[in-house]
Protein backbone atom coordinates (compact mmCIF):
# COMPACT_ATOMS: atom_id res chain seq x y z
CA UNK A 1 0.00 0.00 0.00
CA UNK A 2 1.30 3.46 -0.83
CA UNK A 3 1.92 5.93 2.00
CA UNK A 4 -1.23 7.31 3.59
CA UNK A 5 -1.15 11.07 4.05
CA UNK A 6 -3.45 13.30 6.07
CA UNK A 7 -3.61 17.10 5.96
CA UNK A 8 -5.21 19.13 8.75
CA UNK A 9 -6.24 22.70 7.99
CA UNK A 10 -7.08 24.87 10.99
CA UNK A 11 -7.13 28.52 12.05
CA UNK A 12 -5.27 28.69 15.37
CA UNK A 13 -2.52 26.92 17.26
CA UNK A 14 -4.50 24.50 19.54
CA UNK A 15 -7.40 23.82 17.12
CA UNK A 16 -5.71 20.53 16.15
CA UNK A 17 -5.46 19.39 19.77
CA UNK A 18 -8.96 20.54 20.78
CA UNK A 19 -10.68 18.85 17.84
CA UNK A 20 -8.74 15.81 16.73
CA UNK A 21 -5.94 14.92 19.15
CA UNK A 22 -6.49 11.19 19.62
CA UNK A 23 -7.18 10.77 15.91
CA UNK A 24 -3.93 12.46 14.94
CA UNK A 25 -1.92 10.44 17.45
CA UNK A 26 -3.56 7.19 16.35
CA UNK A 27 -2.85 7.73 12.64
CA UNK A 28 0.68 8.98 13.29
CA UNK A 29 1.36 5.78 15.23
CA UNK A 30 0.14 3.78 12.21
CA UNK A 31 2.74 5.49 10.04
CA UNK A 32 0.41 7.95 8.31
CA UNK A 33 2.29 11.08 7.20
CA UNK A 34 0.46 13.99 8.81
CA UNK A 35 0.77 17.66 7.89
CA UNK A 36 -0.87 20.72 9.39
CA UNK A 37 -1.60 24.12 7.95
CA UNK A 38 -2.42 26.67 10.64
CA UNK A 39 -3.62 30.00 9.28
CA UNK A 40 -2.64 32.27 12.19
CA UNK A 41 -0.32 32.39 15.18
CA UNK A 42 -3.25 32.92 17.54
CA UNK A 43 -2.04 36.37 18.53
CA UNK A 44 -5.52 37.46 19.68
CA UNK A 45 -5.63 34.69 22.28
CA UNK A 46 -4.68 34.78 25.92
CA UNK A 47 -1.07 34.95 27.05
CA UNK A 48 -2.03 32.97 30.16
CA UNK A 49 -3.11 33.90 33.66
CA UNK A 50 -0.72 35.09 34.95
CA UNK A 51 0.70 35.99 31.52
CA UNK A 52 3.53 33.78 30.33
CA UNK A 53 4.77 36.39 27.87
CA UNK A 54 4.10 39.91 26.61
CA UNK A 55 1.45 40.50 23.93
CA UNK A 56 4.27 41.19 21.47
CA UNK A 57 5.86 37.81 22.17
CA UNK A 58 2.60 35.88 21.98
CA UNK A 59 2.71 34.98 18.25
CA UNK A 60 6.16 33.38 18.57
CA UNK A 61 5.26 31.70 21.86
CA UNK A 62 2.07 30.22 20.43
CA UNK A 63 3.86 29.01 17.32
CA UNK A 64 6.41 27.28 19.56
CA UNK A 65 3.61 25.71 21.58
CA UNK A 66 1.98 24.51 18.37
CA UNK A 67 5.21 22.93 17.13
CA UNK A 68 5.65 21.17 20.47
CA UNK A 69 2.05 19.86 20.43
CA UNK A 70 2.54 18.74 16.82
CA UNK A 71 5.66 16.83 17.77
CA UNK A 72 3.82 15.13 20.65
CA UNK A 73 0.97 14.09 18.35
CA UNK A 74 3.29 12.96 15.55
CA UNK A 75 2.53 15.64 12.98
CA UNK A 76 5.42 15.67 10.53
CA UNK A 77 5.02 19.03 8.79
CA UNK A 78 3.68 22.24 10.32
CA UNK A 79 3.08 25.23 8.10
CA UNK A 80 1.98 28.45 9.79
CA UNK A 81 0.47 31.11 7.55
CA UNK A 82 0.90 34.72 8.54
CA UNK A 83 -2.71 35.85 8.95
CA UNK A 84 -3.99 37.90 11.84
CA UNK A 85 -6.00 36.05 14.43
CA UNK A 86 -9.71 37.11 14.44
CA UNK A 87 -9.36 38.59 10.93
CA UNK A 88 -9.25 35.49 8.76
CA UNK A 89 -12.75 36.11 7.43
CA UNK A 90 -11.49 39.40 5.95
CA UNK A 91 -8.91 37.60 3.79
CA UNK A 92 -10.24 37.12 0.24
CA UNK A 93 -11.29 33.47 0.18
CA UNK A 94 -9.62 32.89 -3.19
CA UNK A 95 -6.21 33.78 -1.74
CA UNK A 96 -6.60 31.54 1.30
CA UNK A 97 -7.96 28.82 -0.90
CA UNK A 98 -4.94 28.98 -3.22
CA UNK A 99 -2.55 28.67 -0.26
CA UNK A 100 -4.43 25.58 0.90
CA UNK A 101 -4.23 24.15 -2.62
CA UNK A 102 -0.49 24.76 -2.61
CA UNK A 103 -0.21 22.81 0.65
CA UNK A 104 -2.26 20.01 -0.90
CA UNK A 105 0.07 19.94 -3.89
CA UNK A 106 3.12 19.82 -1.57
CA UNK A 107 1.91 17.22 0.92
CA UNK A 108 -0.33 15.18 -1.43
CA UNK A 109 -2.88 14.04 1.19
CA UNK A 110 -5.57 11.51 0.34
CA UNK A 111 -7.57 12.85 3.32
CA UNK A 112 -8.11 16.46 4.45
CA UNK A 113 -9.68 17.52 7.74
CA UNK A 114 -10.98 20.97 8.66
CA UNK A 115 -13.70 22.43 10.87
CA UNK A 116 -17.37 21.87 10.22
CA UNK A 117 -18.92 25.04 8.72
CA UNK A 118 -20.23 26.12 12.16
CA UNK A 119 -16.66 26.09 13.50
CA UNK A 120 -17.64 24.25 16.75
CA UNK A 121 -16.97 27.31 18.93
CA UNK A 122 -18.49 29.49 16.20
CA UNK A 123 -15.28 31.53 15.89
CA UNK A 124 -15.36 33.43 12.57
CA UNK A 125 -11.80 32.24 11.79
CA UNK A 126 -12.93 28.63 12.17
CA UNK A 127 -15.81 29.25 9.76
CA UNK A 128 -13.49 31.00 7.29
CA UNK A 129 -10.91 28.21 7.23
CA UNK A 130 -13.67 25.61 6.83
CA UNK A 131 -15.13 27.44 3.88
CA UNK A 132 -11.78 28.05 2.16
CA UNK A 133 -10.68 24.43 2.64
CA UNK A 134 -13.94 23.14 1.21
CA UNK A 135 -13.51 25.35 -1.83
CA UNK A 136 -9.86 24.34 -2.20
CA UNK A 137 -10.67 20.63 -2.19
CA UNK A 138 -13.82 20.70 -4.28
CA UNK A 139 -12.79 23.03 -7.10
CA UNK A 140 -10.91 21.32 -9.90
CA UNK A 141 -10.59 18.33 -7.61
CA UNK A 142 -9.44 16.17 -10.52
CA UNK A 143 -6.08 17.94 -10.38
CA UNK A 144 -5.55 17.10 -6.69
CA UNK A 145 -4.81 13.83 -4.87
CA UNK A 146 -7.53 14.36 -2.23
CA UNK A 147 -10.09 11.56 -2.00
CA UNK A 148 -11.98 12.56 1.13
CA UNK A 149 -12.72 15.79 2.99
CA UNK A 150 -13.85 15.59 6.59
CA UNK A 151 -15.40 18.17 8.85
CA UNK A 152 -14.53 17.73 12.50
CA UNK A 153 -17.44 18.29 14.84
CA UNK A 154 -18.96 17.09 18.07
CA UNK A 155 -22.25 15.25 18.38
CA UNK A 156 -25.20 16.98 19.99
CA UNK A 157 -25.31 14.09 22.46
CA UNK A 158 -21.93 15.15 23.96
CA UNK A 159 -22.07 17.01 27.26
CA UNK A 160 -21.34 20.73 26.82
CA UNK A 161 -18.35 22.07 28.76
CA UNK A 162 -19.47 24.19 31.72
CA UNK A 163 -20.35 27.76 30.74
CA UNK A 164 -19.82 27.22 27.01
CA UNK A 165 -22.16 26.57 24.15
CA UNK A 166 -20.56 24.68 21.34
CA UNK A 167 -22.08 24.09 17.93
CA UNK A 168 -22.77 20.42 17.35
CA UNK A 169 -24.27 18.08 14.79
CA UNK A 170 -26.98 15.46 15.32
CA UNK A 171 -25.39 12.08 16.00
CA UNK A 172 -27.23 10.60 13.00
CA UNK A 173 -25.39 13.01 10.69
CA UNK A 174 -21.98 12.00 11.95
CA UNK A 175 -20.45 9.60 9.45
CA UNK A 176 -17.19 8.75 11.14
CA UNK A 177 -16.03 7.96 14.66
CA UNK A 178 -12.37 7.49 15.47
CA UNK A 179 -11.97 5.87 18.86
CA UNK A 180 -8.51 5.75 20.41
CA UNK A 181 -8.56 5.60 24.22
CA UNK A 182 -4.91 4.54 24.41
CA UNK A 183 -3.93 7.92 22.99
CA UNK A 184 -5.73 10.01 25.64
CA UNK A 185 -2.50 10.67 27.60
CA UNK A 186 -0.80 11.79 24.37
CA UNK A 187 -3.77 14.03 23.56
CA UNK A 188 -3.58 15.53 27.05
CA UNK A 189 0.14 16.26 26.70
CA UNK A 190 -0.52 18.00 23.38
CA UNK A 191 -3.33 20.09 24.88
CA UNK A 192 -1.16 21.04 27.84
CA UNK A 193 1.71 22.02 25.53
CA UNK A 194 -0.48 25.01 24.64
CA UNK A 195 0.57 26.52 27.97
CA UNK A 196 -0.71 30.04 27.28
CA UNK A 197 -4.15 28.53 26.66
CA UNK A 198 -4.38 26.66 29.96
CA UNK A 199 -7.64 28.38 30.92
CA UNK A 200 -9.52 27.38 27.79
CA UNK A 201 -7.97 23.90 27.84
CA UNK A 202 -9.16 23.47 31.43
CA UNK A 203 -12.53 25.03 30.52
CA UNK A 204 -13.22 22.48 27.78
CA UNK A 205 -11.60 19.51 29.53
CA UNK A 206 -12.22 20.17 33.24
CA UNK A 207 -9.62 18.56 35.48
CA UNK A 208 -6.90 18.18 32.82
CA UNK A 209 -4.52 20.68 34.41
CA UNK A 210 -4.70 18.64 37.64
CA UNK A 211 -3.98 15.37 35.87
CA UNK A 212 -7.61 14.23 35.59
CA UNK A 213 -7.94 13.03 31.99
CA UNK A 214 -11.48 11.69 32.31
CA UNK A 215 -12.93 14.56 30.23
CA UNK A 216 -10.33 14.36 27.45
CA UNK A 217 -12.09 12.94 24.40
CA UNK A 218 -11.12 9.38 23.54
CA UNK A 219 -13.28 9.53 20.42
CA UNK A 220 -13.37 12.19 17.72
CA UNK A 221 -16.33 12.74 15.42
CA UNK A 222 -16.27 13.69 11.77
CA UNK A 223 -18.65 14.20 8.89
CA UNK A 224 -17.53 13.06 5.46
CA UNK A 225 -18.29 16.30 3.63
CA UNK A 226 -17.05 15.29 0.19
CA UNK A 227 -15.36 12.39 -1.56
CA UNK A 228 -14.42 11.35 -5.05
CA UNK A 229 -14.63 7.61 -4.60
CA UNK A 230 -17.17 6.46 -7.16
CA UNK A 231 -19.76 4.15 -5.64
CA UNK A 232 -18.45 4.62 -2.09
CA UNK A 233 -21.18 4.15 0.50
CA UNK A 234 -21.03 4.29 4.27
CA UNK A 235 -22.98 1.64 6.11
CA UNK A 236 -23.44 2.53 9.77
CA UNK A 237 -20.47 4.67 10.78
CA UNK A 238 -16.95 4.61 9.40
CA UNK A 239 -14.14 3.91 11.84
CA UNK A 240 -11.29 4.64 9.43
CA UNK A 241 -10.63 7.95 7.64
CA UNK A 242 -8.96 6.07 4.79
CA UNK A 243 -11.78 3.54 4.29
CA UNK A 244 -12.59 3.04 0.62
CA UNK A 245 -9.41 4.66 -0.69
CA UNK A 246 -7.65 2.34 -3.15
CA UNK A 247 -4.42 0.81 -1.84
CA UNK A 248 -2.57 2.13 -4.89
CA UNK A 249 -3.46 5.79 -4.19
ZN1 LIG B 1 -9.45 28.21 17.18
If you measure from the C-alpha of residue 15 to the centroid of ligand 1, how many angstroms do you get, rounded to a whole number?
Answer: 5
pTM (whole model) above 0.85: yes
If you measure from the C-alpha of residue 31 to the centroid of ligand 1, how many angstroms do you get, rounded to a whole number?
Answer: 27
pLDDT, residue 2, reads 81
If you measure from the C-alpha of residue 86 to the centroid of ligand 1, how many angstroms do you get, rounded to a whole number?
Answer: 9
If you measure from the C-alpha of residue 170 to the centroid of ligand 1, how many angstroms do you get, rounded to a whole number?
Answer: 22
Burial class (CB in 10 A: 0-12, 13-18, 19+), 38: buried
Instruction: Give me the sign of the Cα torsion angle 40, 34, 182, 129.
Output: positive
The alpha carbon of 23 is separated from its chain's Cα centroid by a whole number of angstroms, namely: 10
If you measure from the C-alpha of residue 49 to the centroid of ligand 1, how many angstroms do you get, rounded to a whole number?
Answer: 19
Tens of pLDDT, residue by residue, the chain (249 residues): 789 999 999 999 999 999 999 999 999 999 999 999 999 999 999 999 999 999 999 999 999 999 999 999 999 999 999 999 999 999 999 999 999 999 999 999 999 999 999 999 999 999 999 999 999 999 988 899 999 999 999 999 998 888 888 999 999 999 999 999 999 999 999 999 999 999 999 999 999 999 999 999 999 999 999 999 999 999 999 999 999 999 988
Is the preceding omega at residue 50 within 30 degrees of 0, hence cis?
yes
pLDDT, residue 94, reads 96
If you measure from the C-alpha of residue 119 to the centroid of ligand 1, how many angstroms do you get, rounded to a whole number?
Answer: 8
Using DSSP, how many helices (H) and how many strands (E) does the chain show? 6, 7
pLDDT, residue 240, reads 98
If you measure from the C-alpha of residue 11 to the centroid of ligand 1, how many angstroms do you get, rounded to a whole number?
Answer: 6
DSSP for 34-84, written as a single string = EEEEEEE--TTS--TTTTSS-TTTHHHHHHHHHHHHHHHHT--EEEEEEEP
pLDDT, residue 163, reads 87
pLDDT, residue 148, reads 98
If you measure from the C-alpha of residue 232 to the centroid of ligand 1, how many angstroms do you get, rounded to a whole number?
Answer: 32
- Domains in the chain, start-ordered, CATH in brackets? 5-227 (3.40.50.10320)
Separation CA 160–CA 182 (nearest Å): 23
Amino acid sequence: MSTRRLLLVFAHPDDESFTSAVTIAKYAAKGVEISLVCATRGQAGSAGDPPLCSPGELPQVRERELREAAQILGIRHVEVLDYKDKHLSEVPQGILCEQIRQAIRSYRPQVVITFAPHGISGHPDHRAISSATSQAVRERSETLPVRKLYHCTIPSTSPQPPGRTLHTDPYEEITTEITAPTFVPTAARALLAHRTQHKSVEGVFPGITRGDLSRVRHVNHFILAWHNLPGYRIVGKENDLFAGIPASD
